[in-house]
Amino acid sequence: MKIKEILEKLDSENNYIGFQLSKRNGLINTTWLLYKKDLAYYFFDINQKIEFEDNYKYSTIELLNELEKASFEIELSIN
């Protein structure tokens, strides 16, 4: 699933504040957390402390530019 589809799903479903995402690159699998808070998105590695600070904050355009070629799977919905 592309990041654009994930953002659209997160925007359209008011029940969820975020998703746990999995990204596979060959044999390596990484897990990420994507939250929506106010009008911004926050993107964290699963092992990071979750702090809604500017260095983790992204606009829609920034996320699309940074992650346009990556494919993710939604593992869990966060509510």
Mean pLDDT for the chain overall = 93
Does the pLDDT of residue 14 top 80, yes or no? no
Does the pLDDT of residue 13 top 80, yes or no? no
Mean per-residue pLDDT, 14-41: 91
Mean per-residue pLDDT, 23-37: 92
Q: Which 3 state secondary structure label does DSSP give 31?
A: strand
Confidence bin at 34 (pLDDT 50/70/90): very high
Where along the chain do its domains lie? 1-26+34-48+59-69
What is the total residue count of the chain? Answer: 79
- Rg of the Cα trace of the chain? 12
| Model pTM score | 0.89
Please report the sign of the dihedral spanned by the C-alpha atoms of residue 69, residue 3, residue 35, residue 61: positive
Mean per-residue pLDDT, 51-70: 95
What local confidence, expressed as pLDDT, does residue 38 receive?
87
